[in-house]
Chains A and B, each alone.
Chain A
Amino acid sequence: GAGVSQSPSNKVTEKGKDVELRCDPISGHTALYWYRQSLGQGLEFLIYFQGNSAPDKSGLPSDRFSAERTGGSVSTLTIQRTQQEDSAVYLCASSLDPGARSETQYFGPGTRLLVL
């Protein structure tokens, strides 16, 4: 596609429910990243995929957070038993050559998650 797309754009859920957030990267981009943007913490890295593998999961805040990527394309971020502190904008980014110093990560519009 023309850019990174994410769905849903907004999600309201109740505390304790599970949510799934989807990311469609730019076609041909092998690297995919998830970040979280919140008022208190700014922009934080969550996880990085190269193809279908996740060599860097160091930013996932707890074991309630997981992500997968299939077919080297679409990725899903799952949050189980959501808590109010999970409320944030979840951003996805993709890139063509993550090892290059000049690599540009292209960001999607984000999913705004509100946990009541």
Chain B
Amino acid sequence: GNSVTQMEGPVTLSEEAFLTINCTYTATGYPSLFWYVQYPGEGLQLLLKATKADDKGSNKGFEATYRKETTSFHLEKGSVQVSDSAVYFCALKYSGAGSYQLTFGKGTKLSVIP
């Protein structure tokens, strides 16, 4: 079946530090890949996505590249801010046999300190 594995948290960084959150996936087909973010007290929202190999998704200074050869979609940001403190979820969608559900990783909690 499909699954997503992302690095365990929590992750604590100082402001302006470099961020990487690792995400790898297992899928029976050729999925689309997503990063969702959940800010404190808010709902889940899409951060970025990529639909084919070597695609780079980007938003708000975050980037992730779809690496089919390593089945990975690592999230990176060059300089984090306090406002980036949130829980980040990697997810995949495999559109096979009419099933369009998202399969999520467990989430990584990021805390950025001033």
Q: Mark A36-74, 1 if CB is under 8 A from B, else 0.
A: 000000111100100000011011000000000000000
Asked if A43 and B99 sit within 8 Å, CB to CB, the answer is: no
The closest CB in chain B to the CB of A33 belongs to B101
Knowing A42-B106, A104-B49, the reply to whether A56 touches B42 (Cβ < 8 A) is no
Most buried by A among B44, B45, B51, B104: B44
A103 contacts across to B, CB distance below 8 A: 32, 93, 100
The closest CB in chain B to the CB of A109 belongs to B43
Contact of A101 among B43, B95, B103 (CB under 8 A): B95
Asked if A48 and B101 sit within 8 Å, CB to CB, the answer is: yes
Asked if A42 and B51 sit within 8 Å, CB to CB, the answer is: no
A104 contacts across to B, CB distance below 8 A: 46, 49
User: Is A25 at the interface (CB under 8 A from chain B)?
Assistant: no
Asked if B51 and A59 sit within 8 Å, CB to CB, the answer is: no
Asked if B98 and A42 sit within 8 Å, CB to CB, the answer is: no
Asked if B99 and A99 sit within 8 Å, CB to CB, the answer is: no
User: Is B89 at the interface (CB under 8 A from chain A)?
Assistant: yes
Distance between B106 CB and nearest chain A CB, rounded to angstroms: 4
A33 contacts across to B, CB distance below 8 A: 100-102
- For the complex of A and B, list the 6 residue pairs with the smallest distance between their C-beta atoms, beginning with the closest: A43-B104, A45-B101, A98-B100, A107-B44, A101-B51, A109-B43
A residues sitting closer than 8 Å to B (CB atoms) are 4, 31, 33, 35, 42-45, 48, 55-56, 58-59, 91, 93, 95, 98-99, 101-110
A-B contact pairs, 12 of them (CB 8 A): A4-B43, A42-B105, A48-B99, A56-B99, A56-B101, A98-B100, A101-B32, A101-B52, A105-B102, A107-B36, A107-B45, A110-B43
